């Protein structure tokens, strides 16, 4: 995906979203799936907004902000489009699960959004449109990423236009007085209420709602909910102060006791699976073994992030995973590793993506030669070992039989001699 090129190397697929700042399609480029946000070049307002989003998104790099992948200009069906290539999140938005997520997910989503805002605010960027439809669900349960920076601004740049969605706007934004990080914090509180109830923080009554937000002393009402704990209520109170100077910053909110128990969406408490990874063949347990099941249950209950890191460290060795155990005999051993590169140029003759991978094997002729040599050597060893064992077996049987014959003959001679001695009549014959 080259920047600012009219040559389209990717394929546009179905539409996955539409908004006031453009259309988002699914796209594929050499097996890579991503999202493309496009506007027609003849619409100067939309192009200006998209250029602003490209510039801002290109400067950001956070696990809690949707990733920038590239941008270009294409000509399709006699129309010219300005395109932004972004990371594709296939699980929809927070608005899709609003009202149905549990307390653990609610806390985790809030942690991700707060972390994203903390990051962009540290870079003097204000999102200006934080709401459920602009927060994307990640591939891990409880993971979320902030998206849609079409309304975002950089601090210090004059902004004369009110930005955002009315039901999530801060009072000072509705009045047209100020746009800053504090405005995002108000929108964060409204988004948490949206996740909690499944509805916007304010009822949509048109101009009356704008009057209530901008010129009254009211704050969004918190409907009764089993998820509305004292910690969550206090968190919302810190976000929804009508006086922006009294609102907590995201640096302080991330330390709030409502979020302290949620450190990261990759922590064991919110992972989809906590199964241990095997490091050798005997790490697998028999499902019929009750002792093994109890051991694994104990490991799962006692797992901490520190233990998880240590176990991953044991897996991530330079020598690779050790599938051998004491008592196993090495029949064939390969020490060399070869890095093989595959390039699409060798197939299609045109420039493309290069794929690299590492494999533990020789080139074909070396494989055949080394395998044959190892096999011959192993077979000779087996033949020699089997022949020696067979010879020893035969000798043992032969010696045992000879010993029995000698003993029997000796006993026979003794009995015969005694019989002759005890029978004097036979001496006269």
Q: Are residues 37 and 130 in the same domain?
A: no
- Per-residue pLDDT at 71 exceeds 80: yes
* Cβ atoms within 10 Å, residue 360: 10
pLDDT score recorded for residue 311: 56
Which residues are catalytically annotated?
129
Extract the tokens encoding 414.
């003794």
Q: Are residues 78 and 118 in the same domain?
A: no
Closest by CA position to 85, among listed 28, 47, 31, 17: 28
* CATH for 48: 3.30.200.20
Domain that holds residue 143: 94-260
Q: What is the pLDDT of residues 2-60, one digit of tens each?
A: 444 456 789 999 999 887 778 999 999 988 999 999 999 998 889 999 999 999 999 99
Q: Are residues 27 and 162 in the same domain?
A: no
Q: Are residues 108 and 177 in the same domain?
A: yes
108 domain residue, yes or no: yes
Q: What is the pLDDT of residues 311-348, one digit of tens each?
A: 555 555 554 444 444 444 444 444 444 333 433 333 33
Which residues, at least 6 apart from 65, have a Cβ–Cβ distance to it below 8 Å? Answer: 57, 116, 119, 120, 145, 146, 147
282 domain residue, yes or no: no
27 domain residue, yes or no: yes
Q: Are residues 116 and 48 in the same domain?
A: no
| 34: β partners | 27
- Per-residue pLDDT at 98 exceeds 90: yes
Q: Are residues 67 and 188 in the same domain?
A: no
Closest by CA position to 311, among listed 275, 285, 263: 275
362 domain residue, yes or no: no
Domain boundary among 224, 240, 260: 260
Q: Please report, for residues 182, 301, 406, the alpha-carbon distance to residue 178 in angstroms, rounded to integers and kept in the order given.
A: 9, 49, 116
CA distance 105 to 121: 24
271 domain residue, yes or no: no
- Binding site per annotation, positions: 37
317 domain residue, yes or no: no
Domain boundary among 260, 291, 311: 260
Q: What is the pTM of this model?
A: 0.62
Percentage of the chain exceeding pLDDT 90: 47
pLDDT score recorded for residue 33: 94
Q: Are residues 98 and 239 in the same domain?
A: yes
410 domain residue, yes or no: no
Q: Are residues 114 and 80 in the same domain?
A: no
- Binding site per annotation, positions for ATP: 37
Domain boundary among 226, 260, 294: 260
306 versus 99: the higher-pLDDT residue is 99
Q: Are residues 52 and 136 in the same domain?
A: no
Q: Are residues 121 and 100 in the same domain?
A: yes
* Banded model confidence at residue 376, pLDDT cuts 50, 70, 90: very low
Round the average pLDDT of the chain to a whole number and report it. 76
Q: Are residues 21 and 98 in the same domain?
A: no
CA distance 47 to 79: 14
Q: How many domains does the chain have?
A: 2
* CATH for 182: 1.10.510.10
Q: Are residues 161 and 24 in the same domain?
A: no
């Amino acid at each position: 995906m080259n920047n600012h090129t009219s040559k389209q190397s990717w394929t546009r697929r179905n539409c996955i979203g539409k908004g006031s700042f453009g259309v988002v399609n699914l796209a594929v480029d050499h097996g890579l799936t991503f999202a493309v946000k496009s506007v027609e070049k003849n619409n100067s307002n939309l192009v200006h907004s998209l250029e602003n989003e490209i510039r801002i998104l290109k400067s950001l790099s956070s696990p809690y902000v949707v990733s920038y992948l590239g941008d270009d200009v294409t000509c399709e069906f006699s129309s010219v489009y300005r395109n932004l290539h972004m990371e594709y999140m296939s699980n929809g938005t927070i608005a899709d699960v609003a009202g149905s997520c549990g307390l653990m997910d609610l806390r985790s989503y809030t942690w991700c959004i707060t972390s994203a805002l903390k990051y962009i605010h540290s870079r003097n960027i204000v999102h200006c449109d934080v709401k459920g439809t602009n927060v994307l669900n990640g591939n891990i349960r409880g993971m979320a990423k902030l998206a849609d920076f079409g309304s975002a601004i950089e601090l210090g740049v004059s902004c004369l236009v009110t930005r955002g969605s009315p039901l999530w706007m801060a009072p000072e934004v509705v009045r047209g007085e100020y746009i800053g990080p504090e405005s995002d914090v108000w929108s964060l509180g409204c988004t948490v209420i949206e996740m909690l109830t499944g509805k916007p923080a304010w009822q949509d009554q048109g101009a009356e709602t704008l009057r209530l937000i901008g010129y009254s002393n009211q704050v969004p009402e918190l409907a009764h909910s089993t998820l509305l704990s004292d910690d969550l209520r206090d968190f919302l109170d810190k976000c929804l102060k009508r006086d922006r100077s009294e609102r907590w910053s995201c640096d302080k909110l991330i330390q709030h006791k409502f979020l302290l128990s949620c450190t990261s969406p990759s922590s064991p408490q919110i992972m989809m699976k906590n199964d241990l990874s095997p490091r050798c063949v005997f790490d697998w347990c028999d499902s019929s073994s009750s002792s093994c099941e109890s051991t694994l249950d104990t490991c799962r209950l006692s797992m901490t992030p520190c233990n998880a890191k240590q176990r991953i460290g044991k897996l991530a060795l330079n020598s690779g995973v050790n599938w051998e155990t004491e008592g196993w005999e090495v029949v064939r051993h390969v020490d060399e590793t070869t890095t093989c590169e595959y390039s699409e140029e060798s197939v299609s003759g045109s420039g493309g993506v290069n794929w690299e991978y590492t494999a533990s094997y020789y080139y074909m002729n070396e494989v055949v030669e080394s395998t044959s040599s190892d096999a011959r050597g192993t077979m000779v060893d087996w033949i020699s070992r089997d022949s020696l064992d067979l010879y020893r077996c035969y000798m043992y049987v032969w010696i045992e039989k000879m010993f029995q014959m000698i003993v029997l003959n000796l006993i026979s001679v003794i009995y015969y001699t005694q019989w002759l001695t005890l029978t004097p009549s036979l001496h006269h014959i």
